[in-house]
């Protein structure tokens, strides 16, 4: 009985086999955002392997922006959501359950730019547009990094 077992993570190509037979994992990355690596995608969900979905490139960058905007930062209303870094995130949660107005939308735009400038310095916010429908404010944040562009949508609900 052998003392140890080994399993290759990626099978070696057969001698003389064309490179087309290599798995996609061994092919050089063509994504200009490959330097971001891979990470968990937001919203958190299971993938087909029954693991948390992960990705890279623009999907990861959009998830990171969403994570910053969706995490409650430390404010006068209370401590931040993350105990180990309570100042991480945005203060958009302070605007929830307020009546939607142009002033509220303007304040929300400023909070988005502030949070992304602090926590995602590699992201350049190109525009933050808002629309007020009834008592709900929807923010559409456009950002860029290198040659890529992405979009994140944040909704602030209101209660009368």
Question: What contacts 101, CB < 8 A, 6 or more positions away?
Answer: 132
> Is it the case that residue 122 has pLDDT exceeding 80?
no
Q: Per-residue confidence at 150, pLDDT binned at 50, 70, 90? A: low
Domains of the chain, residue spans:
30-156
Q: What is the CATH number of domain 30-156?
A: 3.10.450.40
Write out the chain in H/E/C secondary structure: CCCCCCCCCCCCCCCCCCHHHCCHHHCCCCCCCHHHCEEECCCCCECCCCCECEEEHHHHHHHHHHHHHHCECCECCECCCCCCCCCCCECHHHHCCCCCCHHHHHHHHHHHHHHHHHHCCCCEEEEEEEEEECCEEEEEEEEEECCEEEEEEEEECCCC
Average pLDDT of the chain, as a whole number: 75
Q: Considering only CA atoms, which of 115, 114, 104 is closest in space to residue 139?
A: 104
**60-66-71-73 Cα dihedral, nearest 10 degrees:** 110
Q: Per-residue confidence at 155, pLDDT binned at 50, 70, 90? A: low
Q: 31-63: b or e for each residue (b if 16 or more CB lie within 10 Å)?
A: eebeebeeeebbeeeeeeeeeebebbbbbbbbb
Mean pLDDT of 110-121: 91
Q: Per-residue confidence at 97, pLDDT binned at 50, 70, 90? A: confident
Q: Which two tokens stand for residue 122?
A: 């590699």
Mean pLDDT of 22-48: 69
| Selected residue with higher pLDDT from 24 and 62 | 62
Pairing verdict, β 148-156 and 136-145: antiparallel
Q: Quote the pTM value.
A: 0.68
| Selected residue with higher pLDDT from 153 and 62 | 62
């Amino acid at each position: 009985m052998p003392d140890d077992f080994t399993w290759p993570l990626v099978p070696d190509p057969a001698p003389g086999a064309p490179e087309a037979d290599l798995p996609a994992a061994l092919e050089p990355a063509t994504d200009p955002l490959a330097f971001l690596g891979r990470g968990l995608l937001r919203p958190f969900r299971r993938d087909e392997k029954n693991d948390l979905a992960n990705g890279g490139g623009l999907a990861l960058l959009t998830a990171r922006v969403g994570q910053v905007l969706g995490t409650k930062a430390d404010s006068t209303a209370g401590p931040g959501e993350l105990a180990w870094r309570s100042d991480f995130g945005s203060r958009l949660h302070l605007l929830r359950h307020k009546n939607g107005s142009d002033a509220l939308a303007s304040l929300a735009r400023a909070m988005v730019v502030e949070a992304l400038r602090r926590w995602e310095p590699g992201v350049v916010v190109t525009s933050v547009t808002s629309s007020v429908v009834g008592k709900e404010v929807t923010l559409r944040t456009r950002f860029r990094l290198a040659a890529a562009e992405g979009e994140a949508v944040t909704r602030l609900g209101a209660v009368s």
